[in-house]
Each structure stands twice: as C-alpha cells, then as structure tokens.
Structure 1
Amino acid sequence: MARPRKPLLSRERIVEAASALVDAEGLSAVSTRRLAAELGVSGPSLYNHFRTKDEILDAVADAVSAKVDLSMFAEGDGRDWRTALHDWAVSYRAALADHPHIVPVLAQGPGRRPAGLKVADAVFGAMVRAGWPPAQATYIGALMRYFVTGSALGSFARGFVDDETAYDPADYPHLGQAHLLAEHRQKVDEGAFETGLRALLDGLAMQYEPLRDRSRPQDRSAAAEQ
C-alpha cells in the first residue's frame, strides 16, 4: 500500500504550524484557512482536531508553557522558596521571550490548559510547603505571572529609536543616550528583568520573615509559657 504523500494530519502538526505562523507574523496571521493551506489540507479537516481557532491558540500557548522548567519546585530539590521562584521566573521568561507573540494569550491565565495548570499547581504547592498561607501563595503566583508576562510583552529598549537627533536636549535633557538603547536591547531588557525580580523577591522575603519566626518551635514554646 502506497504511503500518503503528506503525513497524516494531527493535533501536533496543527500546533506546530500555528506556532510557526504566530512566531513569524503574530496572532492575526492565524486562521483556519491559512493553517489548512500551510498544511496542505482542506479547512474542515482541522475541525476533527480543534473546534475553533481559539482552541488552536490555546494549544500553542500551552506548548510554550510546557517548556517552562518546574524541577525547582519538586519535593526534595533542595532549593529554598526564593531561589526556586527566581530560577523558575528566569525559565518562564526565557520560554516567553522565544515566542513573544503568544504572550497575550498566556497572560489571560491557564484556563483548562494542562501545562499551564501544572505551572500554577507547582508554584502554589511549593509556596504552601514553604510556609506561606494559601491566600498569600495565590497572590505570589498571580504576582509572578503579572511580572513575567509583562516583561515579555515588549522591549523597553526597542521603545526608543536609534536616531541620535530624535531626542532634542532642549526638550529631553536626560535622554541624550536614549538612542543607544536599541543597540543594547538584550542587556537592557535582561538587566531590567533581573533588577525587578530581585526587588520583588526582596519584598516577599520581608513578608516571609514574620511567618518563619512564628513557625519556630521556641516561639511556640515561649507563647505557651505566657
């Protein structure tokens, strides 16, 4: 029996094609008609795997979430909660930075996406095990998502043009070097991310200190004697 000229259509092939389109041209480039043409199939055949375009974009977003390292949250890994959050945030941002056009979909939250839900579950579980109250663990998960997805939505450095005549010192006396930012985009954006991440974790550590103090056995013993 002769093999088909093209591989059989599958969810994986559809997601790969959609991901390539999103990466190259943005979310607006994705349509069932365009995907069908890219895959060499008829449009209706896509509906055997996905009911809507939004479901396809959800799958693309979840494929990106699946690339995020969660090993630091595994029981027995040995990293404290702060180090784990830092390492996870770096991995999370790296995954999003490789696929910036899908970030608006990811920013909406995991919904029913399996990989996205595993991320949320891992962060929440690790924070609770570290001693954070469940409500505060929820806030931390939300905060980290806001911070990481926000950092991946755009580039601060690319927001300035590389024309040194664009920023007249008479109007913008402190932007004399702003035209150089675009040239150093990666350094500026990564430096800003690390600076913000450290500040965020420092703030959480200050909130965590009283929780740790209350959990110490000697504190509980002293309280019982009073």
Structure 2
Amino acid sequence: MEELRRRIAVGELGAGERLPSTRQIIREWGVAMATATKVLSRLQEEGLARVVPGVGTVVAGREVVARTPVQDLTTRRIVRAAIAVADGEGLAAVSMRRVATELGASAMSLYRHVAGKDELVHLMADAVYGDDPPPEQVPRGWRERLELAARQQWRIYRRHPWLARAISLMRPEFVPNGMAHTDRLLRALDGLGLDANTMMHAVLSLLGYVRGAAVSLEAEEQARTETGITDDDWMRAREAELERLFASGAYPTLARVVAQPGLDLDLDSVFEFGLRRQLDGLAVLVARARDGRRD
C-alpha cells in the first residue's frame, strides 16, 4: 500500500487514473487476495481512491472524494456492488462496510435499504438467478427439459462461484427467481406418473448434484487468482510427490487408472458425466412409473 500511496502523492498516478486491480496487485507484489483487497479498501477509506462503475478503482481528486449522496443509493445498486465483490473475491469478502466502500457511501446508509448481510446475500442470489431467464423455446421431452435447466444452473454457478455456498437445499430461503428454476424442473416431471413425494425427491436430488459439483468452483477460482497458477501447472509441480506416493504401492488401482492415456478431468467434464448418469437413473424411475410400478 505504501508504494501506491507514494505514487499518488508524487503525482505518478493522477486523479482519475486507474489503480491496479486486486489481481494485478497479487501478481506484482506477490500478496494474498485478502491483502490486495485490503490495500484498495484502505486507500478508499483514506479518500485517495474511489470506485467508478464499469472502470474499477481510480485515484480520487479533491473534487470527487465526497461520499455518494443517500438519495443516489438504491437496493439494486447495493446488490450489484455486492455481487461484483463476491464474483471477484468470494462471498467472505462481502460485508456491509466493504460494499459501502465500493459505492463511496457510508456503511450506515446501506441499512436504509438492506437489513444486513443475510438479507443482502438473499437479494444477491435472487438477482443472479433472475439474470438468466429460461429460453423461449423449451424442449418437449422431460429429459431434455431437465438437462436444459440443469445446465442453466451450472452456467449460473460458473459465473458466480460463491452462489453454491450461499444457498441451502433443506433450509432454503424463499428466493423468487430461484423458486422459478425449481418450478421449471417440477413441470418437466409433471404428468409422468410420479407422485408428489417422488417428484420433489427427484428434483432436489438433481439440484443437489449440480450444487455439489459447483461447491468446488469458488475455491478453485480463488486458488488460481491468488497464486496465478493454472490447474495443469499445479499438477505438474506435484508430479514427483505423486510418483513417490504411487511407488509406495498403497494405491495400486488409483496408480493404474491415472497412468492410462487419454485421462482428461476438469470440473466441466465431471459435471457432464454426472448429469448424464443422474438423468439415466431418472429415466428408469419414469419407466417404472409408466408401467404402474412403485418399487
């Protein structure tokens, strides 16, 4: 932070010029994401920087350091600022104070629109679900409709990796746009001979699978951002360690499978494989229901 403060003080960075992003700070100074985030937040608190929507954090001039007027704040602006923080740094980085800093407002002014972080996260989830409406042309087959909806959810998790940890299947918040996704899944199964209990179990199992596959997304993205190391580079750096473990003979089947040519794993391929197996299982259930069997 001292280096950026110095550059601002001597005029190397003038009013309105863009400051390095958190990722640039990580790469240039080799610090963790939390430290990089704290640097920009501290400069904003000191009135040396401000956030410009669509641009990033810039050097503040004397004429632009005043806080955002209360009347300019809206719930939507607050929610969108919080989503931007979560997308870039994870849900743990979201706080009322941090969002207020991003908006150039006081933390107390946010409470006129949002009761606290719990409500804010609720509104964030509703907003990102609503950003991806269903397509106008919906397939007729139940399997194709479930597949389309599941992939849509996966895309949402991909864009917003924090979302998987922000929701619960068994203690769900009443998120209208999220409930609309669930309703579409139920409609795909409606009229196939499944009773209500089976329909709900089938839908929650599918939702649980997609969410479970997505839980790793935030940690993976944060690791890449903080270290600048790709997944392939990470594995290559540990090849010697892995060879030693396999040489011990403790994991013979794992060692044999991993050594096979053509092995290609990433989160997307694992998701696609599991989704097909989930739908294969539901196809058996639907066939039994159509035959009048309930076993």
Q: TM-score, normalised by structure 2?
A: 0.61
1:22 lines up with 2:86 in the alignment? yes
In the aligned structure 1, how far is the partner of 2:202 from the partner of 2:231?
29
Residue 199 of structure 2 corresponds to which residue in structure 1? Answer: 137
**Worse-superposed segment, 61-70 or 197-206:** 61-70
1:207 lines up with 2:285 in the alignment? yes
1:118 lines up with 2:118 in the alignment? no
Shift, 1:175, TM fit? 4.2
Aligned length: 203
CA 1:99/1:86 → structure 2, altered by over 3 Å: closer, same or farther?
Answer: same
Residue 154 of structure 2 corresponds to which residue in structure 1? Answer: 93
Q: 1:162 aligns with which of 226, 236, 257?
A: 236
Shift, 1:44, TM fit? 1.4
Residue 103 of structure 1 corresponds to which residue in structure 2? Answer: 164
Unaligned runs of at least 5 residues, structure 1:
216-226
Q: 1:52 aligns with which of 111, 116, 135?
A: 116
In the aligned structure 2, how far is the partner of 1:153 from the partner of 1:14?
25
Q: Which amino acid aligns with 1:166?
A: E
Residue 269 of structure 2 corresponds to which residue in structure 1? Answer: 191
**Worse-superposed segment, 152-161 or 19-28:** 152-161
Unaligned runs of at least 5 residues, structure 2:
1-65, 221-229
Structure 2 counterpart SS, 1:165: helix
Shift, 1:70, TM fit? 3.2
Structure 1 counterpart SS, 2:236: coil
**Worse-superposed segment, 89-98 or 121-130:** 121-130
Shift, 1:211, TM fit? 1.7
In the aligned structure 2, how far is the partner of 1:88 from the partner of 1:66?
13
Identity %: 33
Instruction: Report Cα offsets for 1:150-203 as digits up to 9, x if no partner.
Output: 111116995973322120231355448969xxxx6xx62222111111111111
Residue 31 of structure 1 corresponds to which residue in structure 2? Answer: 95
CA 1:204/1:176 → structure 2, altered by over 3 Å: closer, same or farther?
Answer: closer
Contact kept? 2:192, 2:290, Cα under 8 Å? no
Q: Which amino acid aligns with 2:284?
A: M
In the aligned structure 2, how far is the partner of 1:92 from the partner of 1:68?
9
Q: Which amino acid aligns with 2:240?
A: T
Q: Which amino acid aligns with 1:70?
A: P
CA 1:5/1:26 → structure 2, altered by over 3 Å: closer, same or farther?
Answer: closer
Contact kept? 1:124, 1:141, Cα under 8 Å? yes
**Worse-superposed segment, 147-156 or 135-144:** 147-156
Q: Which amino acid aligns with 1:112?
A: F
In the aligned structure 2, how far is the partner of 1:138 from the partner of 1:71?
23
In the aligned structure 2, how far is the partner of 1:39 from the partner of 1:177?
51
Q: Which amino acid aligns with 1:17?
A: A
In the aligned structure 2, how far is the partner of 1:13 from the partner of 1:178?
48
1:9 lines up with 2:84 in the alignment? no
Q: TM-score, normalised by structure 1?
A: 0.78
